Homo-oligomer: A and B are copies of this chain.
């Protein structure tokens, strides 16, 4: 059975999850604290930013990640609780404590996230007021309210769910994401050395999955989705992605059916990733960059991400200029060894560069293709079978406006 998307679904679409949000007054308007609850607990997997500067909630959630069961995710928007020292760590722990009391669980069964301004202490009275007021429930409205509460400079909330039958059982994966600036996620498991913005994504499923397997699946899927999107390349101090599995659908994911489940989680993550790029700060276009024929997948990723981050490519796409020269130049500086004579570039399906020389194409056709809101750039390297897809957006006056007028 193929994958079916539920465009209005979200984190409460799978069985076993409740969610809600309330306003504490941290943001200038709207709900700003959200809570996702696994009714009877869930096994959980987590990846965190690899930025050396990590926000307090990242450090606290990483301490809670080994817990056998997870009961809740609490998140606030409007303040990143980053570069806030010991006081910040105490506040992140206090957020978990308030939730643990509210739903009667252990503190280490609660994950915490924050997003917003760096370097300011959390207004804990406002956070506590909101946590006390949140009422969690089921249904699309609850999922959407939760997704809205986490928004900062996001223009639209980002949520989706998807379903497929695995071994005759209907399995649902729900998800939400936020983040349109400081977007260049590079997330992995937190290791003993503490190696580990703001992209926050929460995923839920009603499949039953053993914790170690769930972690392996999340790391694999994140690498091909959230870790492959960029708005400005600025990996945040708060990036976090959780995947909670309630087991309420009574199907165990094992060696044999894992690929089908992975594909389902991947489908949700890629949809959320595209929503992030499309809503990138100042973006007018969603750009998909497909690299193939690289020496390895890692090389293909390096090339795709270098093109996706190039200010010259991104401004040209904003201007609607089929400037394949900038694309080729960006590919060439990715740190991957290749023969420029074999390099090929297609823009919106039109071959513009091949065999070291410009292809014959009608500039007006290429310019017309660049007027679309969705633009595909295909780059062929001709050196192997490594392939990768990255997502980005164009670079507009509004990007500068949003980020130059934002004040500390």
Contacts and interface: CB of A to CB of B under 8 A. Distances in A.
List of 10 A-B pairs having minimum Cβ-Cβ separation, nearest first: A118-B325, A319-B404, A53-B332, A315-B403, A235-B333, A52-B332, A85-B357, A51-B332, A232-B311, A53-B340
A5 interface: no
B404 A315 contact: yes
Contact of A408 (B80, B119, B195, B363): B363
A54 B85 CA distance: 48
17 contacts: A50-B333, A51-B332, A83-B325, A83-B353, A118-B328, A181-B312, A186-B333, A233-B309, A234-B311, A235-B329, A235-B333, A311-B395, A319-B403, A321-B407, A321-B408, A324-B408, A397-B400
Given A119-B324, A356-B85, A329 B408 contact: no
Given A53-B331, A400-B396, A408-B322, A234 B83 contact: no
A137 interface: no
A182 B53 contact: no
A51 B323 contact: no
Contact of A182 (B52, B312, B396): B312
A343 interface: yes
A355 B84 CA distance: 10
A337 B193 CA distance: 9
A371 interface: no
A54 B341 CA distance: 10
B53 A400 contact: no
Contacts of A232: 310-312
A336 interface: yes
Contact of A329 (B53, B310, B315): B53
Given A119-B358, A319-B406, 9 more contacts: A53-B329, A53-B332, A232-B311, A232-B312, A234-B311, A311-B395, A316-B404, A319-B404, A319-B407
Given A83-B358, A84-B357, A399 B315 contact: yes
A197 interface: yes
Contact of A195 (B120, B337, B355, B358): B337
